[in-house]
Copies of this chain bind each other. A is one copy, B any other.
């Protein structure tokens, strides 16, 4: 980890980062109260974390089910013999229902997360993907853990392994 980033992520830096992961719309004033800094100091720290690339953005989280996307799936894509995995990933990413795409190790070289509003809709998406890859489909029943926030404890635990 770069020295610059190490300096930004002291006790206070981590607390700000954790608060913003949980609630990205907290005011600088409120953040200041929670971590014991004045408003301008909070603003300055957060600006630096953004500049350093620690914080890459803020996003509203949408309840997919509520707005009609009742079927969430995770698909593994394999490439046809001798085909390029990068191409599979690019073609898959171009499908609008694909919300996330990972290029991974292993025989199935791509994993994607797909939202659809019904089973026929999912079927249609799979048909599309099947044109250029071998598709293994898993439908999501539930999500016991969604987007856990990154904490200082996790990083310290991680670094302790490095013995």
Contact = CB atoms under 8 A, between A and B. Distances in A.
Interface of A: 1-2, 5, 9, 17, 20-25, 52-64, 66-69, 74, 89-90, 92-93, 96-106, 108, 111-112, 115-118, 120-121, 124, 136, 138-151, 153-155, 157-159, 161-162
Contact of A89 (B23, B96, B103, B144): B144
Nearest to A158: B117
B157 A96 contact: yes
Nearest to A70: B1
A149 B68 CA distance: 15
A51 to B, nearest CB: 12
Interface of A is mostly: mixed
A59 B56 contact: no
A74 B118 CA distance: 26
A140 to B, nearest CB: 5
Contacts of A97: 154, 158
21 contacts: A20-B59, A23-B58, A24-B25, A24-B60, A55-B61, A59-B61, A69-B158, A74-B111, A89-B144, A92-B144, A97-B154, A97-B158, A100-B145, A102-B140, A103-B144, A105-B138, A111-B138, A115-B150, A117-B155, A120-B161, A121-B162
Contact of A20 (B60, B140, B151, B158): B60
A57 B23 contact: yes
A147 B101 CA distance: 9
Contacts of A149: 59
